[in-house]
């Protein structure tokens, strides 16, 4: 529970509250700052309302505290279908970002070819959303083996991030593209192709589109060597996996409530043609799955894609 106002008589008391985990110091442009999970409750606890304005009653130099406090909240939506706009929502300072689900990698075919890699999910963004009440959304699912990834949407059509396409045979799937949201638009990377022959590697999965760049293209397999996965789009995107290795998760966003991180995932690395090796999944979120390798006697399975995500960021009103 937040502290009562009479518990914040001086800065030492505030420091004690930080130590107890009820407030958190963060590094800001002006030095140490406070990050307070429930800003509206904090205002109630340390101030009294007089003549239409909050007045400092306990904390010395409250104007400095107001200048230093960090009031930005970040929320991840990774499941469910409805989100309620909070009471401290700021319609003039917010962004909503999304990544679509990735495509699945294809199976290798014995004595013929390795499977192609799935395409990465698209990234889209809108700003200053002014809705209220319950908002419908959908999280794009990762595609089944050789299946298409689902699109991620917010408020039906206000924001849509398209899913990556599943691989088909030796051919890699296309990256997600064609969604809605004018605040940012970076396509997912295409999956790489599987090699042909009696022993052959699978193609790498494409990376998800990120906040600053398109997803990396998965590499084509070369003879028995599986192709590497494409990286998630630029800033803090996940690395693509090496042959037979999973793609790494992205880390561009940090959720306020639990410090969890998320971002554009890298694609999985294609299976080799010696075992043969199965394909492997990409990283969260939206990293494309890789294709399975093949030998003269058998074909290894491709992998399933990764789901998408919605990220809500706003400065409290």
Name the band, by pLDDT with cuts 50, 70 and 90, for residue 72.
Answer: confident
The tens digit of pLDDT for each residue in 102-115 reads 999 999 999 999 99
Reply yes or no on whether the pLDDT at 58 is more than 60: no
Residue 12 is predicted with a pLDDT of: 55
Taking the C-alpha atoms of residue 289 and residue 146, their distance in angstroms, rounded to an integer, is 9
DSSP string computed for 196-225 = BSSSBPPPPPPPPP-SSSPPPPPPPPBTTB
Element at 44 (helix H, strand E): helix 39-46
Whether the Cβ atoms of residue 104 and residue 289 lie closer than 8 Å to each other: yes
- Reported pTM: 0.81
Mean pLDDT of 290-304: 97
Q: How is residue 24 written in tokens?
A: 């958190």
The DSSP symbol for 136 reads E
The tens digit of pLDDT for each residue in 133-142 reads 999 999 999 9
Q: Which of 139, 141, 203, 138 is nearest to 169 (CA)?
A: 203
Whether the Cβ atoms of residue 70 and residue 274 lie closer than 8 Å to each other: no
Whether the Cβ atoms of residue 293 and residue 114 lie closer than 8 Å to each other: yes
């Amino acid at each position: 529970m937040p502290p009562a106002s009479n518990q914040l008589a001086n800065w030492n008391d505030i420091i004690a509250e930080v130590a107890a985990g009820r407030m958190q110091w963060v590094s800001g442009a002006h030095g140490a700052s406070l990050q307070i999970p429930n800003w509206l409750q904090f205002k109630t606890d340390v101030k009294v309302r007089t003549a239409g304005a909050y007045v400092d009653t306990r904390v010395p130099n409250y104007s400095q505290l107001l200048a230093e406090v960090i009031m930005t909240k970040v929320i991840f939506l990774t499941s469910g279908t409805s989100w309620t706009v909070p009471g401290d929502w700021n319609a003039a300072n917010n962004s909503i970002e999304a990544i679509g689900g990735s495509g699945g990698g294809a199976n290798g075919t014995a004595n013929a070819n390795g499977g192609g890699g799935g395409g990465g999910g698209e990234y889209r963004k809108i700003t200053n959303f002014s809705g209220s009440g319950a908002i419908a959304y959908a999280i794009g699912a990762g595609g089944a083996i050789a299946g298409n990834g689902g699109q991620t949407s917010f408020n039906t059509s206000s924001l849509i991030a398209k899913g990556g396409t599943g691989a088909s045979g030796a051919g890699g799937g296309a990256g997600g593209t064609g969604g809605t949201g004018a605040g940012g638009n970076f396509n997912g990377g295409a999956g790489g192709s599987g090699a042909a022959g009696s022993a052959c590697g699978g193609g790498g999965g494409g990376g998800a589109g990120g906040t600053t760049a398109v997803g990396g293209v998965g590499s084509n397999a070369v003879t028995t060597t599986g192709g590497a996965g494409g990286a998630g789009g630029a800033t803090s995107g996940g690395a693509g996996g090496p042959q037979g290795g999973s793609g790494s998760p992205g880390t561009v966003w940090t959720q306020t409530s639990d410090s969890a991180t998320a971002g554009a995932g890298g694609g999985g690395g294609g299976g080799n043609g010696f075992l043969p090796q199965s394909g492997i999944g990409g990283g969260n979120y939206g990293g494309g799955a890789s294709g399975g390798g093949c030998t003269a006697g058998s074909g290894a399975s491709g992998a399933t894609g990764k789901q998408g995500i919605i990220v809500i960021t706003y400065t409290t009103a």
